[in-house]
Amino acid sequence: MIKFRTDGTAELLRNIEQFPKKIQRRIIYGALRDASKPIVKATRANAPVETGALRRSVRPTTVRAGKYGPVMLVHVGKKRTIKNRRTKMARDEDAYYAKFVEFGAKAHPIVATRKLLKLKSGRFARRVRHPGTPKQEFFKRAINTQAPGATQIFVKQVRARLTAIGSARSL
């Protein structure tokens, strides 16, 4: 987990705490959503493209973490929205292999569990040796380049939302 501090954050948090919980969540989640946009954009731009599934499956998610408050995650996974009763998922783009692209994979044997493995060449084998893959670190590059700007966006959005709510309350 990468943490960043900016000047005036403690003051902002004190200002947020004077509002009811529902408004606090609205302020923080909205600011987190806006702050995650440049990281998501950079992650998609850095993601290697073979089929495009990895790039399409990068999305932000807000999580309620108990000790530290709300946390914005940028992850690769299924979009879990229900369209209607007939279709349970809306366009599954699950790039389960993202961790292997990000961190790489060591060379390892692949052994057939039932019958034979069918290779891309059309031949069959009981056992093959996977050569491994080098790490590509597309998430890490996006975080390192965009996180300082994202924290500034977060602080700016919180301030803007606080002033908007403050001016609406004075009416």
The model's pLDDT over 142-159, given as tens digits with 9 standing for 90+, comes to 989 998 898 889 889 988
CA distance 29 to 62: 7
pLDDT for the residue 141: 92
In a domain, 40, yes or no: yes
Residues 6+ apart with CB under 8 A from 64: 70, 71
pLDDT for the residue 66: 59
pLDDT for the residue 89: 44
In a domain, 8, yes or no: no
pLDDT for the residue 170: 56
CA distance 156 to 170: 21
pLDDT for the residue 159: 87
In a domain, 61, yes or no: yes
pLDDT for the residue 60: 83
In a domain, 114, yes or no: no
pLDDT for the residue 52: 84
Per the structure, how many domains does the chain have? 1
pLDDT below 70 — which residues of the chain?
A: 1-9, 64-71, 77-94, 168-171
In a domain, 6, yes or no: no
CA distance 79 to 123: 36
pLDDT for the residue 8: 63
pLDDT for the residue 41: 93
In a domain, 120, yes or no: no
In a domain, 70, yes or no: yes
In a domain, 122, yes or no: no
Q: Domain range holding 57?
A: 15-101+134-170
Single out the residue of 61, 52, 75, 71 nearest to residue 139, CA to CA.
Answer: 75
pLDDT for the residue 68: 58
